């Protein structure tokens, strides 16, 4: 990899799966994190725990949270197991296009961890990303997504982080 480049902050929407894996990863390494979540801190498993430093949108629709996180980030990485984006992941991609924000889709089916990590690091470096939105499917849709997210982030941005 080229010169090390780290995002200053990771954001996500707090849903199970990719979102929480990214937040847990950042919290476990002392990296600043946050983002927007639906009003009422709604997620598929109930209320998003308070340990996640998220701001609530004015309404409970997931799509509003998705748009706000894309809008307030420099770029988005879209993790998945299957390369075909659906549901909220497809909406995230569409917001990136509409808001002219760079995005990087990474699917485990065609992008193993080491390759995904290099692509993500280069993407952050090339786009000078300070605030990275991490998005992807919920755990009920792709149960293995959290492990993929954490493994890619570990390899792309190894500790210690610059201060």
Q: How far apart are CA 10 and CA 76, in angstroms?
A: 10
Is 0.85 surpassed by the pTM of this model?
yes
Residue tagged 């760079």 (tokens) = 102
* pLDDT for 111 beyond 90: yes
Residue 151 lies in domain? 9-156
- For residue 81, report the phi and psi dihedrals to the nearest 5 degrees: -90, -50
pLDDT tens for each residue of 136-158: 999 999 999 999 999 999 999 98
3-state helix, strand, coil in the chain (%, to 5): 35, 20, 45
Number of domains forming the structure of the chain: 1
pLDDT of residue 4: 63
- CATH number of the domain at 94, please: 3.40.50.450
* Residue 98 covered by a domain: yes
* Residue 29 covered by a domain: yes
pLDDT average, residue stretch 81-90 = 94
pLDDT of residue 6: 83
């Amino acid at each position: 990899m080229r010169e090390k480049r780290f995002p200053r902050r990771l954001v996500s929407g707090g849903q199970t799966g990719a979102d929480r894996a990214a937040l847990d990863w950042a919290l476990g390494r002392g990296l600043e994190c946050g983002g927007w979540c639906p009003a009422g801190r709604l997620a598929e498993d109930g209320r998003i725990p308070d340990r996640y430093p998220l701001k609530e949108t004015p309404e409970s629709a997931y799509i509003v949270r998705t748009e706000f996180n894309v809008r307030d980030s420099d770029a988005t990485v879209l993790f998945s197991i299957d390369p075909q984006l659906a549901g909220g992941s497809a909406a995230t991609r569409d917001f990136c296009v509409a808001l002219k924000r760079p995005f990087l889709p990474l699917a485990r089916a065609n992008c193993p961890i080491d390759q995904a990590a290099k692509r993500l690091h280069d993407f952050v470096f090339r786009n000078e990303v300070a605030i990275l939105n991490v998005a992807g499917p919920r755990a009920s849709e792709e149960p293995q997504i959290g492990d993929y997210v954490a493994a890619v982030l570990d390899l792309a941005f190894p500790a210690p982080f610059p201060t």
